Amino acid sequence: MSTKYQFAGPIFRHFPKEEYALDFSIIGKIRVSTLKVCREYEDHEQGDSGEGTLHYSHDPVTSHDPNWQEVARRLGMKIGAFDKGSITGCEKHTVIPNAYVLCLSYIQFDEELCGKFGKHCVQIKDLLFFGNLVYDALVEKFGGVSGRSAKVRYRDRAYRNLEQEPKEIAFIKPEHPFAKQVEYRMVFWCDPGHVYEPFFLDVPEVRTICKYLGPLF
């Protein structure tokens, strides 16, 4: 699994019930969610309807503009160096259809966040080892799997004109109301045609690097 930030840990996961935290930390029963499920949460702080999406727009531009081809590329068009014309009123909306996702946090949540996500906190002492264990278990279960692990970047998902093009859209979330969660996430893709549904992944080896810290409040 590709890891962008070599952060070793510790990292934290929060649960609404003690039994869930103990299943995770002692048994290695890990609930893996999906981007689609995250989009469908009714609570706008727990869920995010824009998960894995990006929106690009541009002011009207003609072939006389030196950035003509770059704008076309960003909009998903193929335009040759000698093509003439104009682009007006075009936008591009990019969506990752679905993927598996495991959300963690750099911090132990305060009372407000515990009220949203749960006060029962598990510490993961070795993030890199944890990520490799989860990835290996997914490969064993599904076969072809690719994964990415990184800190969530908090910024607008919409960008215009020649603003810097955002990368890795599965790791972008708006600053409000999500930045206070200080999220680190793991995203996994299976072979084409795979049907993504939330499930519990058995990774008993994680118990060697996990510790239940108890209720925070």
pLDDT in tens, 132-175: 999 999 999 999 999 999 999 999 999 999 999 999 999 999 99
Domain boundaries, the chain: 2-52+96-215, 53-94
pLDDT digits (tens, 9 = 90+) for 89-142: 999 999 999 999 999 999 999 999 999 999 999 999 999 999 999 999 999 999
Tokens 């919409």: give the residue: 158
β-bridge pairing 210-215 and 120-124: antiparallel
Predicted model pTM:
0.90
Give me 69's structure tokens.
């081809």
Task: Look at strands 172-173 and 153-154 and give their pairing.
Answer: parallel
